[in-house]
């Protein structure tokens, strides 16, 4: 049997190479089975012409919130995954969220499976949000979940319904040490935020902009340093999610310089948007609610610059979207924060949409042009190959390499799209009613997206051409260390040096 699909006439980019333009991709049974020149065609081969554009691996967005209880007006799997493929992301890792009152996580994960099964245009996995990590769960349920392919957890240091104290954080890190799951941490100091919020509220400062005032960088800096310290003590790798602060990022950088496996993530909102977006605009006093996320957008263009430095110098392992939107204009209050006539930032659900715009925004700055900020290879590392490695999808997702799933994005030839694309809510595919990136111009956009060899997005001919039955649950393996020491499973590596754990 010949190839079912051959992609020709493009420039393939991987995490390490930009291949020469003549190289074709041959696909069999949904997998990349050959990279080479002049691949043989049969009658059954679909030949796709990349028309001189770049070809990158399907995006892996390792931080999206779909169908979570706490965002009832946000995206479900159907709308969220539709938006994903339209922006070139073929794999998402969403969250199954344990409530503090729940004493099991198995049933919780089963519930999230029912929310996703046969309802996803792209492949998906789950991280587990642990808000009540009982000894019983850690000893008996976590090993079962790892067998089921759920090999990562997210811990919160803030948000009353989710947050863990240091003793609980340490307990989970000690389990990670034994079981080898990957630990993500939302690092903000909860007590700092409460103190400021109480005082702001007492003086009537409750408009959306005060969300940013209530969560200063020092809250992120302190919590980041603390979780790095706990991870060093217990000798386990962690990933600090959605970083926005330069000092916090420098804590990560210093830890990495000491070869500690401390990974970090940032998101497009912390590369492009400032807290002025939380102020009233267009005569709508509440419009700032659209840009409420945590950590908040920061005040100074230098803060954005700092995050770009972390992109370029290797501090960040992952750029995710943290797609966590709520509908703005639904009944009952704009993004839920409007009680009568009073705007209360504390009631605004946190999070912005971004799964569809993540790749185009970052790709606009990848390459060798004057305004480029990262190489094409680094673009692939951050958006696809490194999240795949860190979360146990290596060999399957995140590269254009033989044996990998044929998840392929074909971009426009730059000459075809001279003026780029202006981001417009009306052209996006998520279920919510706004984008914080409205009006921004990007240089390029995925023209075609393939999921395991099947065309699921064709921007010029039908748009979303995939189906909700296309997406499969991904049983993930254990993650691999990407920074710190090279190689190895995500699991303590200093064990021999720490005799007090024996």
Residues found near Zn ion in the complex (CB under 5 A): 108, 186, 322, 324
What are the structure tokens assigned to 49, written together?
């012409």
Binding mask 62-81 for ligand URP (x = CB under 6 A): ---x----------------
Residue nearer to ligand URP on the CB measure, 216 or 351: 351
From candidates 133, 288, 310, 351, binder to ligand URP by CB under 6 A: 351
55, 123, 57: which is closest to 91 by C-alpha? 123
Which H or E element spans position 32?
strand 31-36
Residue 293 interacting partner from ligand URP, Zn ion, none (CB closer than 5 to 8 Å by kind): ligand URP
> Shortest distance, CB of residue 15 to ligand URP, whole angstroms?
26
Instruction: Map residue 45 onto helix, strand or coil.
Output: coil
Could you give the CA distance from residue 218 to residue 35 in angstroms, rounded to a whole number?
Answer: 49
3-state secondary structure string across 210-270: HHHHHCCHHHHHHHHHHHHHHHHHHCCCEEECCCCCHHHHHHHHHHHHCCCCEEEEECCHH
Integer Cα distance of 59 and 407 in angstroms: 8
Rounded least distance, CB 322 to ligand URP, Å: 5
Q: How far is the CB of 82 from ligand URP (least distance, A)?
A: 20
Alpha-carbon distance 14 to 17, whole Å? 5
Q: Are 262 and 252 in contact (CB under 8 A)?
A: yes
Closest distance of CB 269 from ligand URP, Å: 9
Query: x/- contact string, 230-249, with ligand URP (CB under 6 A)?
Result: ------------x-------
185 touches ligand URP (CB under 6 A): no
Q: How far is the CB of 474 from ligand URP (least distance, A)?
A: 20
Q: Is 127 in the site for ligand URP (CB under 6 A)?
A: no
Asked if 91 interacts with ligand URP (CB under 6 A), we say no
User: If binding means CB under 6 A, how many residues of this protein chain bind ligand URP?
Assistant: 9
Question: Is 324 near ligand URP (CB under 6 A)?
Answer: yes
Say if residues 489 and 445 touch (Cβ distance below 8 Å). no
Q: How many CA atoms lie within 13 A of 430 on its CB side?
A: 29
Whether the link from the prior residue into 295 is cis, omega within 30° of 0, is yes
Q: Which letter does DSSP use for residue 345 in this model?
A: G
For residue 87, the minimal CB distance to Zn ion (Å) is 17
| Residue that the structure tokens 């420039």 belong to | 11
Minimum CB distance to Zn ion smaller for 260 or for 324: 324
**Partner that binds at residue 108, options ligand URP, Zn ion, none, CB closer than 5 to 8 Å by kind:** Zn ion
Coil, strand or helix at 478: coil
Smallest gap, in angstroms, from Cβ of residue 68 to ligand URP?
Answer: 8
Q: Which is nearer to ligand URP, 65 or 251 (CB)?
A: 65
The residue number with the shortest CB distance to Zn ion is 108
Kindly list the residues in this chain that would bind ligand URP in the complex (CB under 6 A).
65, 186, 242, 293-294, 322, 324, 350-351
């Amino acid at each position: 049997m010949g190839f079912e699909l051959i992609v020709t006439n493009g420039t393939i980019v991987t995490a390490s190479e930009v291949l020469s333009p003549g190289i074709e991709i041959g696909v069999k049974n949904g997998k990349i089975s050959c990279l080479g020149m002049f691949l043989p065609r049969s009658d059954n081969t679909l030949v796709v012409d990349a028309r001189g554009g770049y070809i990158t691996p399907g995006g892996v967005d390792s931080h999206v919130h779909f169908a979570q209880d706490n965002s009832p007006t946000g995206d479900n799997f159907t709308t969220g995954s539709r938006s994903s493929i339209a922006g070139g992301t073929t794999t998402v890792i969403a969250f199954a969220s344990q409530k503090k009152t729940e004493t099991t996580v198995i049933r919780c994960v089963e519930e999230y499976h029912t929310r996703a099964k046969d309802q996803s245009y792209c492949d998906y996995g789950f991280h587990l949000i642990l808000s009540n990590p009982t000894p019983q769960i850690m000893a008996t349920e976590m090993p079962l979940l790892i067998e089921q392919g759920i090999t990562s957890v997210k811990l919160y240091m803030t948000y009353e319904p989710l947050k863990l104290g240091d003793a609980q954080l340490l307990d989970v890190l000690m389990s990670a040490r034994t079981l080898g799951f990957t630990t993500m941490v939302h690092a903000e100091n909860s007590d700092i935020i409460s103190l400021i919020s109480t005082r702001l509220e007492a003086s009537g400062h409750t408009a959306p902009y005060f969300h940013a005032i209530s969560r200063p960088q020092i809250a992120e800096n302190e919590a980041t340093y603390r979780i790095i310290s706990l991870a060093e003590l217990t000798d386990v790798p962690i990933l600090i999610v959605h970083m926005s602060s330069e000092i916090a990022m420098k804590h990560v950088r210093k830890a990495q310089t000491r070869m500690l496996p401390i990974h970090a993530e940032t998101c497009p909102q912390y590369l492009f948007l400032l807290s002025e977006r939380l102020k009233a605009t267009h005569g709508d006093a509440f419009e700032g609610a659209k840009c409420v996320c945590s950590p908040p957008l920061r005040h100074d263009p230098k803060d954005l610059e700092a995050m770009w430095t972390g992109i370029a110098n290797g501090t960040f392992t992952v750029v995710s979207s943290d797609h966590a939107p709520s509908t703005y204009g639904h009944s009952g209050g704009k993004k839920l924060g409007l009680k009568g006539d009073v705007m209360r930032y504390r009631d605004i659900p946190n999070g912005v949409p971004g799964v569809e715009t993540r790749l185009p925004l970052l790709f606009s700055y990848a390459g060798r042009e004057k305004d480029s900020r990262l190489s094409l290879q680094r673009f692939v590392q951050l958006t696809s190959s490194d999240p795949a490695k860190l979360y146990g999808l290596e060999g399957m997702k995140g590269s254009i390499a033989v044996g990998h799933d044929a998840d392929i994005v074909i971009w426009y030839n730059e000459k075809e799209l001279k003026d780029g694309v202006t981001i417009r809510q009306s052209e996006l595919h998520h279920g919510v009613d706004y984008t914080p990136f409205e009006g921004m111009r990007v240089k390029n956009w995925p023209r075609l997206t393939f999921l395991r060899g099947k065309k699921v997005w064709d921007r010029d001919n039908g748009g979303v051409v995939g189906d909700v039955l296309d997406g499969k649950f991904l049983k993930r393996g254990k993650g691999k260390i990407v920074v710190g020491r090279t190689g190895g499973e995500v699991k303590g590596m200093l064990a021999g040096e720490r005799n007090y754990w024996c």
